[in-house]
A and B are shown apart, each in its own frame.
Chain A
Amino acid sequence: MKTRTVADVSSLPPYGFGTSASTWWGTLGFCAIEGTGFALAIGMYLYLAFNNPHWPLGFSRPVHWPGTVLTILLLLSLIPNVMVDRAARAHDLAKVRWLLVLLTGIGILAIALRFVEFYMLIPRWDSNAYGSIIWFLLGLHATHLITDVGDSVVLTALMFTKHGRAKRFADVSDNAFYWYFVVAAWLPIYYLVYWFPIL
């Protein structure tokens, strides 16, 4: 078939940030999948809570302090997270590097706090359905914490090599985007595990 040229795209940039990049949409897709998983786990908690005559089953609510400290840490981490996203979009390598180191440190601290939470949970996962579901909720979120921190460690290392340039800044921006999801997903779980009313 004969062709006729109607546009030339050679002047377009070779990578982009946010909604112009495929990776951003892919990350959003996986956030939707994982977010549905969180919503269903929360639904399981509520189903079990309202289908039992008393809740929590035979235990008092867990001590909230480790979870509260973790929550404050995660909320504070949003500040450097916003900063690293902006620095990445500005291609400011020095700033990106130290912010990534800071965020990775915060992430590792958050994982440590999660283990303190597990340690201080009174019902075990095999005590009864209440124990099972709160371990499940914390465990599900822990997998996301660990995944993102693992990703951040690799990305931080990458940004300290010769690869820390061009398209890698878009990767930093996407990593920051995923961290928002990890923090947002935690808030309803924090409420359910530590503050949900006694029925």
Chain B
Amino acid sequence: MPRAAAAMPRPANQRDTGLDDAELRERLAYTWGRRPGIIGWLTTVDHKEIGKRYLATAFVFLALGGLLAAIIRLQLARPEAHVVGPDLYNQIFTVHGANMMFLFAVPVMQAFSMYLVPLMVGTRNIAFGKVGAFSYWIYLAGGVFLWVSFVLDIGPDVGWFAYVPLSGPQYGIGKRADVWAQMITFTEVSSMAVAVETIVTVFKHRAPGMTLTQIPLFVWAMLVTAFMIIFAMPAVMVASTSLILDRLIGTHFFNQAEGGSAILFQHLFWFFGHPEVYIIFIPATGMVSAIIETFSRRPVFGHVAVIISLVGTGMLAFGLWVHHMFATGLPELGASFFTIMSMLIAIPSGLQIFCWLVTLLTGTPVIRTPLLFVFGFFFIFVLGGMTGVMVASIPIDLQVHDTYFVVAHFHYVLIGGAVFPLIGATYYWFPKITGRMMSERLGVWNFWLAFIGFNVAFFPMHILGILGMPRRVYTYQTDVGWDGLNLLSSAGAFILAASFALFFFNMLRSARVGPLAGPNPWGAGTLEWLAASPPPSHNFDHIPFVTHATPLWAERESLPIVTGISVNTREILITTLADARPEIREASPDSSIWPLIAAIATTIAFIASIFSPWAAVWGSALIGVTLVGWFWPKSMKEDEE
């Protein structure tokens, strides 16, 4: 909400105690609102504004990645096609994978987290709002960097995991592999920043009374994800940085001839890469919990068991990475350990599914589009999980490694496990974000097109893989017997694409002409539905006092609140970690241009440093100068708050 142009009389140190509702709302809107105009847009640190930008940008990257998928399916629809040549095809599948993993899947989950977590825990902004703004600009820069490189024919062409030696100095000539490596740096810096913000928000910014077990399951999921990001993503940064060093200044980390190891790169990559799957999947389980809870009209059965499952899944996810490397000839005992771990992780996931099913069976389910997508998730994800147990077995993995069976498996897991809940979540929270409902009729069409299109597109790939079709081939001969199934798969892909077109159309149309939603159109129980739709810049007029995991269901008559918070400075309440007792009042950052300036400096440093090692030196100095500007207090008042 733009800040009112006319300055209001602002008594010093005014608190919310005793103000009438209209005056309270007016003062908070002034204090927390953004500045008018383009400057306001560039300087805002409001988690909702940043979250919406993340969402919109991630959906643009989804559409762009989808276009590449469509080209892939056109090329493979028939044998010996010439839609694109092999060199461009290599870039297309690499950019498709890298884009979908690093620019869509992780950021879109963090976008929901950025928007929803502060609302769901009952606070007014995410912790370190300026860091959130910085993270968005860095993410945008990394995405634009990848796509501009692709358009300029220097898009990476080494697969989304960029194995050495193909990506190393000997074979990865030109700058294509460097673009991959530095895109990683951009996106991981961004993700790790949001992860730290999320953890601090959940640990310290919760509304008073919200004990650990009363935290909504979606927030728990994002908390576990944030921890996974912190411990997984440094691995890919170490991998990509070492790769750049090998390519730029002649180090030998991955050069077998000089004592390095190509397998080391795979270990580093997959130590990140496998948790990455769960970094995408666990937020989706949080979305599923939220949707099932609301549409079953009861709290999730086994709330604490689901929390334990989430934490368990997060921990076990770090013990699986070698199952991506069974074909590298690792010692048998070690490989067996990773087989066991790969099968073990099915247990907490299965436990969650059990809790959801019991919730549905013992509740009074109301079938709406969000729940339809959850049903689609159950079907597709369980199938993907079953092929996952298959490829966890070394003999099967060796047979189907690098075939379309694996392509089918991970699309079942990722699209079924993450994208279906994500679309359901979009239908679910769209009214909160925009104030308007999405069309239910189009939603049902959207679901069935997606469900049918997905299965027609990806199920045949299992069979193609068993028939021996390798991944990443740009074409195949007429006599190998793969043409019929490939044509079927391509037809399914275009039905799936139509479902996404309908999804985007529904969003764009509903944002303008959808029925008004009101604060709580679904009758849900968690705190984000207490705020208006869309929420004002300060989120809540009063900071709620929480007594239950679904406070809006537990406190139907009147809501307990705390008072004593400043209304003329951006002040938030800090509470203790375990039982959320009020601890201090703390300042929340005001709008600032410095995150954007720091992001521009960082972008210059990152891009220049793939051309010259000295850019790391002068680039760091440049970033340092911007950080001094960022942190230096702008007024005496800042020291006191």
Contacts and interface: CB of A to CB of B under 8 A. Distances in A.
Interface of A: 1-16, 19-22, 25-26, 29-30, 32-34, 36-37, 40-41, 44, 47-48, 51-52, 57, 125-133, 135-136, 143, 146, 150, 154, 158, 162-163, 165-168
B90 to A, nearest CB: 28
Interface stretch (B35-43, B114-122, B192-200, B457-465): B192-200
A15 B587 CA distance: 8
B251 A29 contact: no
Contact of A128 (B197, B252, B573, B577): B252
Contacts of A52: 259
B586 A37 contact: no
B176 interface: no
B583 A135 contact: no
B574 interface: yes
B204 A29 contact: no
Nearest to A133: B253
Q: Which of B252, B632, B640 has the most CB of A within 10 A?
A: B252
24 contacts: A1-B558, A2-B557, A6-B562, A9-B573, A9-B585, A12-B583, A14-B586, A15-B641, A22-B574, A33-B233, A36-B231, A36-B235, A37-B234, A44-B238, A47-B267, A51-B261, A57-B258, A129-B252, A131-B252, A132-B260, A158-B633, A166-B639, A167-B640, A168-B633
Contacts of B192: 33
Contacts of B584: 12-16, 20-21
Given A9-B562, A154-B631, A1 B259 contact: no
A10 B633 contact: no
Given A6-B561, A12-B584, A48 B260 contact: yes
Contacts of B628: 154
Given A8-B17, A15-B584, A40-B268, A20 B574 contact: yes
Interface residues of B, number: 71
A59 to B, nearest CB: 11
A1 B532 CA distance: 11
Given A37-B238, A52-B259, 12 more contacts: A2-B559, A6-B545, A7-B582, A8-B564, A25-B200, A32-B230, A33-B192, A36-B230, A57-B259, A129-B258, A136-B251, A167-B639
B161 interface: no
B242 interface: yes
A96 to B, nearest CB: 14
Contact of A25 (B204, B208, B261, B632): B204
A55 B264 CA distance: 17
Contacts of B242: 44, 136
Q: Which of B192, B234, B264, B561 has the most CB of A within 10 A?
A: B234
Interface string B400-437: 00000000000000000000000000000000000000
A14 B585 contact: yes
List of 5 A-B pairs having minimum Cβ-Cβ separation, nearest first? A10-B564, A129-B259, A29-B196, A126-B250, A132-B251
Contacts of A13: 584-585
Given A2-B559, A10-B15, A40 B586 contact: no
B530 interface: yes
A126 B268 contact: no
A163 B640 contact: no
Nearest to A130: B259
B362 interface: no
A79 to B, nearest CB: 27
B267 to A, nearest CB: 7
Interface in B588-641: 620, 624, 628, 631-633, 636, 638-641
Contacts, number: 197
Contacts of B574: 16, 20-22
A13 B640 CA distance: 10
Nearest to B128: A26
B287 to A, nearest CB: 24
Given A52-B259, A125-B249, A126-B251, A33 B583 contact: no
Given A3-B558, A21-B586, A32-B231, A48 B128 contact: no
Contacts of B583: 12, 16, 20
Nearest to B530: A1
A37 B268 CA distance: 11
A48 B261 contact: yes
Contact of A7 (B195, B255, B545, B586): B545
Contacts of B488: none
Contact of B559 (A3, A132, A146): A3
B595 to A, nearest CB: 15
Given A21-B586, A48-B260, A4 B561 contact: yes
Nearest to A169: B639
A37 B200 CA distance: 21
Contacts of B251: 125-126, 129, 131-132, 135-136
A1 B553 CA distance: 12
B199 A25 contact: yes
Contacts of B252: 126, 128-129, 131-132
Contacts of A20: 574, 583-584
Given A3-B542, A33-B230, A129-B253, A9 B582 contact: yes
A2 to B, nearest CB: 4
Nearest to B259: A129
B245 A44 contact: no
Given A162-B636, A167-B639, A167-B640, A44 B253 contact: yes
A41 B558 CA distance: 55
B268 A44 contact: yes
A167 B641 contact: yes
Contact of A9 (B258, B259, B565, B640): B565
A188 to B, nearest CB: 16
B258 to A, nearest CB: 4
Interface string B199-217: 1100111001000000000
Contacts of A9: 208, 562-565, 573, 582, 585
Contacts of B195: 29
A189 B204 CA distance: 33
